Amino acid sequence: MSKIPHILIIYTGGTIGMMKDYKTNVLRSFDFKHIYNSIPELNHLDCSLETISFEQPIDSSNINPSHWDSIATTIQSHYHKADGFVVLHGSDTMSYTASAISFMIENLDKPIIFTGSQLPIGDLRTDAKENMITAIEIAAAQKNGKPRIAEVCIYFEYKLYRANRTTKISAAQFQAFDSPNYPILAESGVELKFHEHTLLPLKSSKELIFRKILPQNVLLIKLFPGITEAVLHHMFQMPELKGVILETYGSGNAPTEQWFLEILRNTLKKGIPIVDITQCFAGSVVLGKYETSLELLEMGLIDGKDITTEAAVTKLMYLFSIPEIGGRIKDLFETSLRGEIGNT
């Protein structure tokens, strides 16, 4: 590593990269080549900066696996030059993208910090400057010549989270994200405080591997009282269906009606895995804890444990994108690959 950390900022799109033209009230893309002029506070950071912007900024609602690949490819091509990465991204799907990147890069030994903002960078009350400055500071942070962070994270509103543990909780508050089942990794106050016991260990001795996530026919279904056999039957009959993520009640509970269980059994017989995750904001699936989940356990549903919806979707797509995995989907999904699920 260089004596002064070199940080690559990748702007993909989103509110954080917009500035308001106060004559017309129209939002325009910010030119990150002039980042030091617009945010002079960056001159006080003990690091050098390089910026790359997507040719066409992407609204995060339009993000798809091809954009994840573009982000990962950019990181890969600059990996040996940069000491850390800050990815600027729209907040709406940031947890999906950041979770995906966490799976796509194996044996990561440098920080990749995602951040964004609720208000454009030029607004008087913007959260963009603080989020960006501190994200860069975290990406540049070192201890004994090694990075303090060696994983994919999201920094937002004074808190650093493990990316694949996050979910967006507010469209109106500056604290847009939370990590319901895992503690924060660091907190920005008068000082930047890292919680060492929560961090993933460095894996500098292992080979760095980048993989693609290919588009997959994955179905996400949220159960609700009154959902009908006709609706579910139609959804499970989707052509070329690869896998299903089922958001169940509480600790993994679902209806015990025979028509419902029969749909699940027929799907599993086709070799299509079904992941059971909780639709609760916090907590974990515990298959077999109640009678309403015992059948699901016995028929072989994948136990999603305490995984978020965003991590479940991207992890399943990631596993389907690796042909050599074959029939090991259940075992690998129930195993923590990047700290995305707990041990229980």
CA dist 37 and 46 (Å) reads 17
**Do 173 and 93 fall within a single domain?**
yes
Q: Give yes or no for a contact between 77 and 33, defined as CB atoms under 8 angstroms apart.
A: no
CATH at 182: 3.40.50.1170
Per DSSP, what are the bridge partners of residue 49?
A: 7
Q: Using one digit for the tens of pLDDT, what is the confidence trace for 159-197? A: 999 999 999 999 999 999 999 999 999 999 999 999 999
Spatial CA neighbour of 117 closest among 153, 155, 150: 155
**Do 276 and 303 fall within a single domain?**
yes
- What is the arithmetic mean of pLDDT over 144-171? 96
For the record, the structure tokens of 250 come out as 């509480």
Helices 94-104 and 309-320 pack at an angle, to 10 degrees, of 40
**Do 162 and 42 fall within a single domain?**
yes
CATH at 226: 3.40.50.40
pLDDT confidence of 298, banded at 50, 70, 90?
Answer: very high
Per-residue pLDDT at 22? 67
Q: Is residue 85 part of a domain?
A: yes
Q: Is residue 340 part of a domain?
A: no
Query: 146, 178, 210 — which closes off a domain?
Result: 210
Q: What's the one-letter identity of residue 100? A: A
Burial class from Cβ neighbours inside 10 Å (0-12, 13-18, 19+) for residue 97 reads buried
- For the chain, the domain total comes to 2
Q: What pTM value is reported for the model?
A: 0.95
Residue span of the structural domain in which 125 resides:
6-210
Could you give the residue numbers annotated as active site? 15
Q: Which of 81-85, 100-104, 324-328 has the lowest mean pLDDT?
A: 324-328
Q: Give yes or no for a contact between 47 and 5, defined as CB atoms under 8 angstroms apart.
A: yes
Q: Is residue 228 part of a domain?
A: yes
Q: Is residue 342 part of a domain?
A: no
Mean pLDDT across the chain, nearest whole number?
93
Q: Using one digit for the tens of pLDDT, what is the confidence trace for 47-99? A: 999 999 998 889 999 999 999 999 999 999 999 999 999 999 999 999 999 99
For the record, the structure tokens of 242 come out as 């690869």
Q: Using one digit for the tens of pLDDT, what is the confidence trace for 214-271? A: 999 999 999 999 999 999 999 999 999 999 999 999 999 999 999 999 999 999 999 9
**Do 42 and 125 fall within a single domain?**
yes
Query: 210, 232, 263 — which closes off a domain?
Result: 210
